């Protein structure tokens, strides 16, 4: 829990922070992305990301995405396996020690076997939900993939799951924050960078516009909690432009590519955004 006073920011060494785009889902309509009818026509297609926080030898991978089987089963376009996306930044997934799972949905917690040395950080409530009686209901289990859950259980029995409850400082400059609603135990990740604290919302807001309009993405566990989560994200971030949504293709336009070779694949979230909040949330 957040019971100790955080270190003064001047004492925190900043992380490099990246969004890595590994899959996409085209042909969607705007109405697929908002629970309530919305006159806007923006934000139809979904992109899929994992995130990387790196500070010298310290590497935190945030989420593990999905592989080809899940892409085929759900009609998504896999652009590259998450492990291959990480390799583009010189990160060897087989050596990664710390992985945060924001939640256990199929697009965030697949490919665990690509991270054989990792400890996985997960909220207790997410684990209980994904393996408990709620999964008797087909609609509730639809966003999960049983093979991922089996792999999660194997990691648990390997002693490689670290459970968290609520808010926790995982390292100086890297916090986990429970922001449930989309799923029972979703956690956002707050990372200190050269431009201050940046909040990786994951699916606490799929698009900038879900939060801006307080109109949730239609996959949800607890609507009231999800709406409260938007306020929580805004509390955690120095400004809305320090919040990074979980699936918005605008993220690729909002931030500079990490190199020209990785244009459209990897952007630097620790750099100032190139677009205003108003443009992003439109």
CA distance 177 to 123: 9
Shortest Å distance, C-beta 210 to Zn ion: 12
**Closer by beta carbon to Zn ion, 192 or else 230:** 230
Min dist. Cβ of residue 38 to Zn ion (A): 19
Q: Which is nearer to Zn ion, 6 or 74 (CB)?
A: 74
Nearest to 14 by CA among 48, 63, 44, 55: 55
* Nearest distance, CB of residue 68 and Zn ion, angstroms: 18
Q: Which of 274, 275, 200 is nearest to 243 (CA)?
A: 200
**Residue 144: partners with Cβ closer than 8 Å, 6 or more residues away:** 104, 105, 106, 130, 135
Identify which of residues 74 and 119 has a Cβ nearer to Zn ion in the complex.
74
β-pairing verdict for 58-62 and 46-55? antiparallel
Q: How far apart, in whole angstroms, are the C-alpha atoms of residue 60 and residue 20?
A: 13
Interface residues with Zn ion (CB under 5 A)?
107, 203
| Distance in Å, CB of 95 to Zn ion, minimum | 26
- The whole-angstrom separation of Cα 219 and Cα 192 is 30
Closer to Zn ion at the Cβ: 33 or 258?
33
Distance in angstroms (rounded) separating the CA atoms of residues 207 and 99: 23
At its nearest, how many Å lie between Zn ion and the CB of residue 246?
5
CB of 217 to Zn ion, least distance (A): 9
Nearest distance, CB of residue 106 and Zn ion, angstroms: 8
* Nearest C-alpha neighbor of 268 from the set 278, 276, 260, 279: 260
Nearer to Zn ion, 107 or 125 (CB): 107
Q: Which is nearer to Zn ion, 125 or 203 (CB)?
A: 203
β-sheet bridge partners, residue 20 = 50, 266
Q: Is the CB of residue 31 less than 8 Å from the CB of residue 37?
A: yes
Closest to Zn ion by CB, 33 or 155: 33
């Amino acid at each position: 829990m957040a019971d100790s006073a955080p270190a003064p920011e001047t004492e925190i060494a900043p992380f490099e922070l990246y969004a890595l785009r590994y899959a996409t889902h085209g042909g969607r309509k705007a109405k697929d992305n908002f629970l309530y009818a919305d006159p806007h026509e923006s934000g139809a297609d979904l992109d899929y990301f994992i995130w990387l926080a790196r500070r010298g030898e310290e590497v935190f991978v945030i989420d593990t995405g999905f592989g080809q089987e899940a892409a085929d089963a759900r009609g998504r376009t896999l652009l590259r396996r998450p492990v291959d996306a990480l390799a583009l930044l010189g990160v060897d997934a087989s050596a990664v020690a710390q992985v945060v799972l924001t939640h256990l949905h199929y697009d965030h917690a697949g490919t665990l076997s690509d991270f054989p040395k990792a400890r996985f950080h997960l909220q207790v409530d997410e684990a209980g939900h994904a393996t408990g009686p709620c999964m008797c209901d087909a609609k509730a289990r639809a966003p999960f993939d049983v093979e991922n859950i089996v792999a999660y259980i194997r990691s648990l029995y390997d002693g490689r799951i670290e459970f968290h409850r609520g808010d926790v400082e995982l390292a100086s400059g890297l916090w986990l924050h429970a922001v449930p609603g989309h799923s029972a135990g979703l956690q956002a990740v707050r990372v200190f960078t050269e431009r201050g604290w940046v909040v990786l919302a994951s699916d606490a807001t799929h698009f900038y516009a879900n939060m801006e309009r307080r109109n949730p993405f239609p996959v949800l566990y607890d609507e009231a909690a999800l709406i409260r989560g938007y306020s929580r994200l805004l509390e955690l971030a120095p400004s809305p432009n320090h919040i990074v949504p979980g699936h918005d293709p605008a993220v690729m336009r909002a931030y500079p590519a990490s190199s020209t070779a990785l244009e459209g694949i990897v952007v630097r979230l620790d750099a100032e955004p190139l677009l205003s909040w108003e443009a992003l949330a439109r």
